[in-house]
Amino acid sequence: MAKPTSGRSGRAGPPGSSRQKSAKSGATKSSKQRSSRSPKYRSESGSASRSEYRSNPRQVRSRDQTEAADLGPGERLQKVLAQIGMGSRREIEKWITEGRVIVNGDRAVLGQRVKTSDKVEVDGERVRIAVSKAVEILILNKATGVVTTRRDPEGRTTVYEELPDLKQGRWVSVGRLDVQTSGLLLFTNDGELANRLMHPSTGLDREYAVRIHGILEKDDIDILKAGIEVDGETLRFSDVRFYNGSGSNNWYHVVLTEGRNREVRRLFESRGLTVSRLKRVRYGPFVLPSWLRNGQWASLQQKDVRNTYKMLGMSYETPKRTPSKVSRTAKTSCLIPYPKLEKNER
């Protein structure tokens, strides 16, 4: 009876034999070769490897979803939400990773692009989004008795009721003024610009015209400029100048580097003086024009808008369309030279 010849019958040898080990080794090599050729599991192809899917499938799916979302039309979600003043891009990116942002019923992912037709929700509330809008900056001569908030539980008039409607996005205020303070208040439809103008690192000071009952002596001015502790906070004016007045009513111009709550009034009260009128006349390089009446607003000239971005070192895109027709364009420029921002213009 003839014995079968080795390797020609196509059958493997007995378990543990050299022929079976060789066959297993060949099958393993073949499988590895097929795996390396398969784009599904190749990291170079842009998708995750099989081991990545097994070790952390949630993270891999999130990465792949981000890559897919980034390919769509529109603008990035965090940029759009920052533009309408929801927060800084870094804050919004954190909200997205925490699952607080929903787009069209699905949890948003970083880098996702959205269009104006998309339904966007933040913490369960619908958000009106705007994409590729023309930037506008409004200057309002706020009246006393008007509150700087979108809704007032006491039913008082808000500054937003006095502003023109926007077809897309919303107005974002640059800082606040308390109800009894009048004067310059800025608004823009670019949330990132508003955040930059308000951020302490930008270093924009504020100038106020103040009418008081009484007079400041030289020692009072020195103390107010050196700094004084009020309610556990060190407050100070960077500049104090007599403007005009006679008798018991006198006007001063004071400058603050920060906008803390009731800071001007608290500083004068610390010297035993009462503020009877308070009006902001300058915010950094923006000045309140004499022709802008109490309670009225005007839209800055596009030249001023462009120069604002330039001074702040921000990129400015020339609008593809003209600003809203409802805007009352400022008669003159509302910007003055501002040495603190000159380095950004170079």
Provide the annotated active-site residues.
178
Residues counted in the chain: 346
Query: What phi and psi values does residue 12 have, to the nearest 5 degrees?
Result: -80, 160
Outline where the chain has alpha helix (H).
Answer: 18-37, 50-55, 57-69, 77-83, 89-97, 191-198, 218-226, 263-269, 302-312, 342-345
Count the helices and strands in the chain (H runs, E runs): 10, 17
Distance CA 289, CA 329 (A): 13
Cβ–Cβ contacts within 10 Å for residue 57, how many? 11
CB 187 within 8 A of CB 174: yes
Q: Under a CB-based contact definition with an 8 Å cutoff, are residues 189 and 208 in contact? A: no
Between CA 86 and CA 93 the distance in angstroms is: 11
Cβ(61)–Cβ(109) below 8 Å = no
Q: CA of 13: how far to CAs of 6, 16, 26, 186, in Å?
A: 9, 8, 14, 87
* Secondary structure of residue 190 in the 3-state scheme: coil
DSSP-assigned letters across all residues of 238-299: SEEEEEEEETTEEEEEEEESS--TTHHHHHHHTTT-EEEEEEEEEETTEE--TTS-TT-EEE
Q: Please give the backbone phi and psi of residue 304, each rounded to the nearest 5 degrees, phi first.
A: -65, -40
CA distances from residue 227 to 205, 221, 233, 282, 299 in whole angstroms, order as listed: 16, 10, 10, 22, 37
Tell me if 136 sits within 8 A of 323, measured CB to CB: yes
Q: Rounded to whole angstroms, how far apart are CA atoms 129 and 189?
A: 11
Phi, psi of 316 (to 5 degrees): -125, 125
